[in-house]
Amino acid sequence: MSDVSMIIDGERRAAPSTFGVVNPATGTVHAEAPDCSREQLDEAFDAAAKAFTDWRKDETARRTALREAATRLAAAADQIGPVLTAEQGKPLKAAKMEPLAASMWLKYFADLEVGREIIQDDARAYAEVVRRPVGVVAAITPWNFPIVLSAWKIGPALLAGNTMVLKPSPFTPRSTLLMGEILAEVLPPGVLNVVSGGDELGKWMTTHPTPRKISFTGSVATGKHIATAAAPDLKRVTLELGGNDAAIILDDADPTAITEKLFRGAFDNNGQVCSAIKRLYVPESLYDDVVDALAARVARVKVGDGMDPTSELGPIQNRPQYDRVSGLVAEALAGGAKAATGGAPIDGPGYFYQPTILTGAAEGTRIVDEEQFGPALPVISYRDLDEVVTRANATMYGLSGSVWSTDPDRAAAIAEQLDCGTAWVNTHVALGPHQPFGGFKWSGLGVENGPWGLAGFTEIQVQYRAKK
């Protein structure tokens, strides 16, 4: 049995069976989670549809409930953190930050004012554009940031007047279920239902007749399947998918000054960030200095169990991802790349891998062309600036990118040429609830966050009043 429950219609619910949840620091099952049945999923969607009738009517009540939800999440950081570390692997300090960040997101949307848009007011008519909720939302979240990425969906969806059935990744279900239990104390029954299960449950959700929108964060491959599943019913979709973010260092940059930011941009959360630096392009004149500085920083990293307060990075979250990162690095090394530091798994239990800086890899190798989503960074040299922009853009990904220089205006001019949803200057992975986040090409459809993300959970209605 599981000591965490699903939330259906405001009530804690067990499931007919459970599935094991692995602690990536040990590689063994440490707890169980409920495995939602198809009948229970029907009940969750029925509860959401029923709750929608009243929830959509009172914006003031929705804002009040979201503010209280934000307060409860922040207060539960010490409760949720250890549960998250045990199933995700990240250091406990980072795990405790997730509920705090989620609280910030919910409060932002609780306070976000978006007025009606008047498009005509003359002798003939008065007309305005009104945003209406879409209805029931099916939300599916990934394993890298289970709590905060749930809030990215819960905040705007609920403010807009929608209700939701939320499913976390089967790799990290327990922290989200615990969050659901906490939020059930302040949200009306049926407004937020939280269920857990494997990939089959996700397929049931995306083909279910009740939801009018699917909000998904995860892999490109799964995103394509969801878009296909949504098409016959014309369900609305927001898909926040993968990235292969390029960071370009210009020839006037100071390697010493930017080393820490580059390290954080590439290795935070063990590189398991969709918008992390995945490829680093460096001019030949600075190449050795940048590699040496990064390799020295990465070599100092303490990798260990997230419950150890001295750990800077934890394990890779799951075995398939561990095998993928190991395989990509091994293939690059076999093809002639060199490891300036790292380059191999760490002996012992769990999915620990040495943080790795690779040299000598280039386009045409999978570690450069694909999204590694782990603690391995290829550093690639270039000579011509126009050429490197072309190389950075020569991918089906288009999530984020960054340019680094002591001249911010020069860097910004290059950043504008990147084909991606967010282009940073002298930083990477700088996100906030007010800032739209989404990608070009295969990196997704639609955006999350800010008034733009809120609009994605609405339909446009024109209200037209004739005057004569």
> Is there a catalytic annotation at residue 274?
yes
> Is there a catalytic annotation at residue 459?
no
Contacts of 350 (CB under 8 A, 6+ apart): 23, 24, 25, 26, 27, 305, 315
The rounded distance, in Å, linking the Cα atoms of 248 and 336 is 23
Q: Which is catalytic among the residues 87, 274, 371, 448?
A: 274
pLDDT in tens, the chain (468 residues): 469 999 999 999 999 999 999 999 999 999 999 999 999 999 999 999 999 999 999 999 999 999 999 999 999 999 999 999 999 999 999 999 999 999 999 999 999 998 889 999 999 999 999 999 999 999 999 999 999 999 999 999 999 999 999 999 999 999 999 999 999 999 999 999 999 999 999 999 999 999 999 999 999 999 999 999 999 999 999 999 999 999 999 999 999 999 999 999 999 999 999 999 999 999 999 999 999 999 999 999 999 999 999 999 999 999 999 999 999 999 999 999 999 999 999 999 999 999 999 999 999 999 999 999 999 999 999 999 999 999 999 999 999 999 999 999 999 999 999 999 999 999 999 999 999 999 999 999 999 999 999 999 999 999 999 998
The rounded distance, in Å, linking the Cα atoms of 376 and 257 is 21
The rounded distance, in Å, linking the Cα atoms of 91 and 448 is 26
Q: Which is catalytic among the residues 32, 87, 240, 371?
A: 240
Block residue for tokens 């012992």: 348
First and final C-alpha spacing in the chain: 67
The rounded distance, in Å, linking the Cα atoms of 307 and 369 is 34
Type of residue numbered 418: L
Contacts of 362 (CB under 8 A, 6+ apart): 368, 380
Rounded to the nearest 5 percent, the helix, strand and coil shares of the chain are 40, 25, 35
